[in-house]
Amino acid sequence: MAQARASEFDEFVASRWSALMHLARLLVGGDRHRAEDLLQESLVKLWFVWPRVADDAPEPYVRKVMVRAAARSSRRRWWGERPVERMPEVASAGDVSADVAERSRLEAALVQLSPKQRAAVVLRYYQDLPEGQVAEALGCPVGTARSHAARGVARLRQLLADVIEPVQ
């Protein structure tokens, strides 16, 4: 029985890893390493409650854990990065500079939102969750989640418009 539950957990992680990793990256502002830490921490918490949530809804549970952990971690002042003498070499995969620039611009704008606004925008518009599930993940009423999302989108529009229009 326990092995069957472990197998179900492994299947869930394998099937949802990519989507959850992308969500984690958006929640932490694009930092891949912090996103990996966030996702792994969330999956560890999911493992401990897996027997209770496996049949119901493990993905909303792990999203809620990720949103709350990302909000907590955004208040930290230092992440413990250490400088290295040499940068690792990166293999090139063709010219994807326009895509990377656009994604970087959006991630830079997302970082400027408050953690709750960022989480609401990402969950509502990237994850395409209904407002009720966004509110549940944020731990607030639906109206508050709707306000966070609306203010976040308005702020994103303002930030992205400022970048596009030259300052005179």
E-assigned strand segments in the chain: none
Spatial CB neighbours of 14, under 8 Å, sequence gap ≥ 6: none
Structurally, how many domains does the chain consist of?
1
pLDDT digits (tens, 9 = 90+) for 9-61: 889 899 989 999 999 988 888 778 888 988 999 999 999 888 888 888 888 88
Range of the domain at 15: 8-76+104-164
CATH code at position 109: 1.20.140.160
**Between 86 and 129, the higher pLDDT residue:** 129
Q: Is residue 63 within 8 Å of residue 18, measured between CB atoms?
A: no
Q: At CA 46, angle to CA 43 and CA 50, rounded to 5?
A: 135
Tell whether 113 is covered by a domain: yes
In a domain, 117, yes or no: yes
What is the average pLDDT value for the chain, to the nearest integer? Answer: 83
CA-to-CA distance for 8 and 23, rounded, in angstroms? Answer: 22
User: Is the pLDDT score of 77 beyond 60?
Assistant: no
Q: Please say whether the beta carbons of 145 and 134 come within 8 A.
A: yes
Q: Is residue 136 part of a domain?
A: yes
Cβ atoms 25, 66 nearer than 8 A: no
Does the pLDDT value for residue 161 go beyond 90? no
The more confidently predicted of residues 68 and 168 is 68
